[in-house]
A and B are shown apart, each in its own frame.
Chain A
Amino acid sequence: MIHSAPPMVVVGLLFGIGLYGVLARRNAILVLIGVELMLAAAGLLFVTVGSLTSDSLRAGQIMTIFVINIAAAEIAVALGVILAIFRARGNIDMAQAGERE
């Protein structure tokens, strides 16, 4: 038996912290770390709801596996883009994104 409130609070806190990381960071890789935290919060919500309800399809856990999979694909492409930007501009500062050298 588990209370359903603590997982929900952890989900909310992780998502809020990830959002703070996305908004408050200037290094593009640190922004990605914030995105990872938000995706982790989404996965925890899926698993929590899947475990607290009786679901014969096990959608909660399987969706989390899918989210982890998509996050891995996303981070590979995103880091490729960041490295291309670094080669082109010499920095990955989000504050200078969109400016021409």
Chain B
Amino acid sequence: MTTYDVLFTIAGAISVAAALLAVSTKHLVHSALWLIVSLAALCGCYLVLGAEFVALVQLLVYVGAVVVLVLFALMLTRAPIGRSPEHDTSLVQRAAALVVGAATAALLSAVLISAYGNSEQRVNGGGTHVLATRLFGSWVWPFELLSALLLIALVAALALARLPIGRRGATEGVPK
């Protein structure tokens, strides 16, 4: 066990535990808040693996933007505060989902461990300087394509928000 192992195990355990709570809690808002904890702990994992820029992007984009968007959506869809058992799935479906999820987790872990082994390896995160050189050198065209994708997503979200639909024909407050 090295320091890296200990730190990664702590961050990973927090991330997995928070993810487990995020998918199992009955409080809708708590689910989004546990997602923040999980993704922030994952950011710690990235730091241990030497990817400090990715960790910061994760923190800014996920915790800063995506989860706030999710919380806004929960608010706009009138998510109930407190336990909301009316959205529970049946016990059979949950048991089946548990089996599928556990089987996927076990299969994925086993395949990845057998592919990469359990040897001690040097953490080779590189530096932000090398990353920036590569990002704006070899990877510049995919990067530009992604900026176009973000623009398309922006326009699509705006178009969806302006769709003239209302419940049972009620269209008050919807722009024509």
Q: Which residues of A contact B (CB under 8 A)?
A: 1-21, 23-27, 29-30, 32-34, 36-37, 40, 43-45, 47-54, 57-58, 60-62, 64-66, 68-77, 79-84, 86-90, 92-93, 95, 101
In the assembled complex, 17 residue pairs joining A and B whose CB atoms fall closer than 8 Å, in A order, are A10-B8, A10-B12, A10-B45, A13-B109, A15-B108, A19-B101, A26-B88, A29-B73, A44-B45, A47-B46, A52-B123, A61-B131, A71-B62, A72-B61, A73-B149, A79-B157, A81-B160
Within B125-176, which residues are at the interface with A (CB < 8 Å)? Answer: 125-126, 130-131, 134-135, 138-139, 142-143, 146, 149-150, 152-154, 156-157, 160-161, 163, 165-168
Q: Is the CB of B118 within 8 A of A51?
A: no
Known contacts A8-B109, A8-B116, A72-B150; is-contact A17 B16 (Cβ 8 Å): yes
Main secondary structure of the interface of B (DSSP, over half): helix
Q: Is the CB of B121 within 8 A of A12?
A: no
Known contacts A17-B23, A47-B49; is-contact A23 B121 (Cβ 8 Å): no
Q: Is the CB of A80 within 8 A of B118?
A: no
Q: How many A-B residue pairs have CB under 8 A?
A: 279
Interface flags for B36-52 (1: CB within 8 Å of A; 0: not) read 00110010011011110
Interface flags for B62-82 (1: CB within 8 Å of A; 0: not) read 100110011011101101000
